[in-house]
Chains A and B, each alone.
Chain A
Amino acid sequence: MNIIVCIKQILDPEIPPAKFKVDTVAKKVVCPEGIPLVVSPYDEQAVEAALRIKESRSDAKLTALTLGGAGAKDAIKHVLSMGVDEGIIVNDDAFEGSDAFGTAYILSKAIEKLGDYGLVLCGRQAADWDAGQVGPVLAEYLGIPVVTVAKEVAAVDGKVTVKQVLADGYRVLHMAMPALVTVSSEIGQARLPSGKGIVMAARKQVTVWSSQDLGCDPGRIGSGAARAELAELFVPSQDRKSEIITGKDVAEAAGNLAGVLRREGAI
């Protein structure tokens, strides 16, 4: 059974907030120098979910798929070294500026080209734009059922069983394959690449497909097909008091804090 995991390379979401800068004119986030891009953590967790399925059934073959430019190969090599079997990059100048619908369309063309698959996994959202759109849209384009925000995914025989995170617990859902699942961090930490994995990944060829290889409709890709426009991007202002309460020692400071909160009616 083929499992396809869609991954995206992004700015490390855990950089210190002080390093996060926006160019409000270009409406772009400025990548701080010397900080390498990473595979979006939720996508790493989708890879982790796929690897756990592979451990439970010997016929599982994992393919990572990414839409990307220059750094995409690093992202693919990273997940290959975690244990993914194959990597595919779809890349073309014509893809530039595609929105979630364009991206999902391109990924659907690549998945159709791959042909036979049982399960498609995505992160619940890319940890840069946090939109969470590509996964469910991709499922619609592929004509397969979808469950989002999973904390556990099992694939036994022709069925996939998903624990979907809810506000106050979870629920258990079943779908016949092929199906698509988006994975959340509740699945637990993704494994680190192993030494052997890194060596194996270095030897692997990564396939690259262009728009022509996929037979993409030019009217559905790139910035021209985008259904909305980014009008502004800014760092929100902070209106908290940021007042440090002091005292001659910790006990006095803590007492003063209680006093301030009491005076304000907060306690």
Chain B
Amino acid sequence: MDDHRGVLVVGELGQSRLATVTRELLGAGRRLADELGEPLGLLLIGDAVSGCDTEASALGVDTLYVAEGPHLAAYNGDVYMEIAGTVAGETAAAVILMGHTTAGREMGPRLAARLGGSLFTDCVDLALDAARWLVATRPVYGGNAMAGFVSKTLPQIATVRPKAMPETAACTGKNMSTVAVSTDSTLSRIELSEVVVEEAAGPRIEDAGVVVAVGAGVRQEDFGLVCDLAQVLGGAVGGTRLPYEEGWIPASSQIGQTGKMITPDLYVAVGISGAPQHMAGCTGAKRIVAINNDPEAHIFKMADYGIVADYKEALPVLIEKIREMTGA
């Protein structure tokens, strides 16, 4: 190809370590870099990022690019973009990866527009073809279909869906070099005034091992039954669009394409029809159980186990049985 070389991951920070999605990206990035026989770079932008170097090195990063400063504490589209654009341009990476997150959704397209590269968003699989072009697989049509794209242009930029790819296990640290990135030319046209956290009480649906989801088939006065089931299972409560619009659950508990993508061990859908835009959020669940009174409901095709029943009859018995079994 031309003088583009290597894989660059634009990372994000979690609680005093790399964000989970960044660890997943480094797994995919290392694999692609090895196939190309080229180096893997990681760019970290933030207030205090140098503490992540041991972790980065253990995950197989060859070069860590550090953009550090108090003004970089919160993601700012313009400032982060300027830094990522400079590093991507100077390193001339052939493949640039980032999470399909708030930052990635903005930076991916903007970087591709600036650098003239190809772009694949919300990818669930990445590979290289025989000519070493990037092959990106992503859900389309609300999850009804999957599409595979082959890049024809460099650099090749992909945003990757969180939890779609496995986290890498740490390897025996590399000889990683660290490069400090200038953060001077950081003019911003976007000003942040407030961050508001809106979360349901109890475990977060993206972390919970069990999620019980409420759908439009449940009447508001019965929402408590769904919560009781979640409680005896030690799980979290999520839902489809209507319960969110009606204010029973916060936006952060909506599951699906516009809501969250979750991967619990057990997902119980109560009064949910199984629309693709909703199921897009829970296809990664290990087990799906559906309770719906319509034997034709699409959800039964998408579930491992189902009972055809009115939730009003089924839930109290189910809750009671689980209590007996588990002593919860």
| A interface list, Cβ under 8 A from B | 11, 13-14, 16-18, 20, 22, 29, 100-101, 104, 124, 127-133, 135-137, 139-141, 145-149, 151, 164-176, 179, 184-186, 188-189, 226-236, 238, 240-246, 250-251, 253-255, 257-262, 264, 266-267
Contacts and interface: CB of A to CB of B under 8 A. Distances in A.
A194 B247 CA distance: 27
B119 A231 contact: no
A237 to B, nearest CB: 10
Given A145-B78, A236-B146, A257 B301 contact: no
What are the 3 closest A-B residue pairs judged by CB atoms, nearest first?
A: A140-B113, A136-B109, A258-B321
B16 interface: no
A13 B260 CA distance: 19
A100 B119 contact: yes
11 contacts: A127-B142, A169-B252, A184-B258, A227-B119, A232-B148, A243-B305, A244-B305, A244-B306, A255-B321, A261-B289, A267-B233
A48 B105 CA distance: 22
B65 interface: no
B141 A130 contact: yes
A145 to B, nearest CB: 4
Interface in B250-283: 251-252, 257-258, 260, 265-266, 274-277
B135 interface: yes
Nearest to B153: A227
Contacts of A16: 298
A233 B147 contact: yes
A226 B145 CA distance: 21
Contacts of B240: none
Contact of B110 (A127, A137, A235, A250): A137
Contacts of B118: 227-228
Interface residues of B, number: 89
B201 interface: no
A260 B305 contact: yes
Contact of B105 (A132, A234, A244): A132
A146 B141 contact: no
From B146, B258, B289, B308, residue with most partner A Cβ within 10 Å = B258
B102 A148 contact: yes
Given A129-B140, A133-B109, A175-B189, A228 B150 contact: yes
B307 A250 contact: yes
Contacts of A174: 190-191, 193
Interface in B192-216: 192-199, 204, 206, 210
B151 interface: yes
B23 interface: no
A217 to B, nearest CB: 14
Given A145-B78, A267-B326, A130 B314 contact: no
A40 B279 CA distance: 19
Contacts of A176: 189
Given A170-B195, A258-B318, 20 more contacts: A13-B141, A13-B142, A29-B145, A130-B142, A133-B112, A133-B119, A165-B251, A167-B101, A174-B190, A175-B190, A233-B140, A240-B304, A244-B300, A253-B308, A254-B314, A254-B317, A257-B307, A258-B322, A259-B321, A261-B266
A258 B325 contact: yes
Contacts of A241: 303-305
Contacts of B199: 168-169
Contacts of A136: 105-106, 108-110, 113
A229 B265 contact: no
A130 B110 contact: no
A257 B258 contact: no
Given A128-B141, A140-B114, A149 B191 contact: no
A245 B190 CA distance: 54
Contacts of A233: 140, 145-148
A236 B136 CA distance: 15
B197 A236 contact: no
Interface in B148-196: 148-153, 189-196
Nearest to A151: B251
Nearest to B309: A250
Contacts of A148: 102, 105-106
B22 interface: no
B197 A169 contact: yes
Contacts of A251: 313, 317
B17 interface: no
A238 B318 contact: no
A28 to B, nearest CB: 10
B68 interface: no
B302 interface: yes
A171 B195 contact: yes
A33 to B, nearest CB: 17
Given A236-B145, A257-B307, A257-B318, A173 B193 contact: yes
A240 to B, nearest CB: 5
A167 B252 CA distance: 6
Contacts of B289: 257, 261
Nearest to A136: B109
Given A22-B145, A133-B119, A175 B191 contact: yes
Nearest to A259: B321
B287 interface: yes
A231 B309 contact: no
A267 B106 contact: no
B53 interface: no
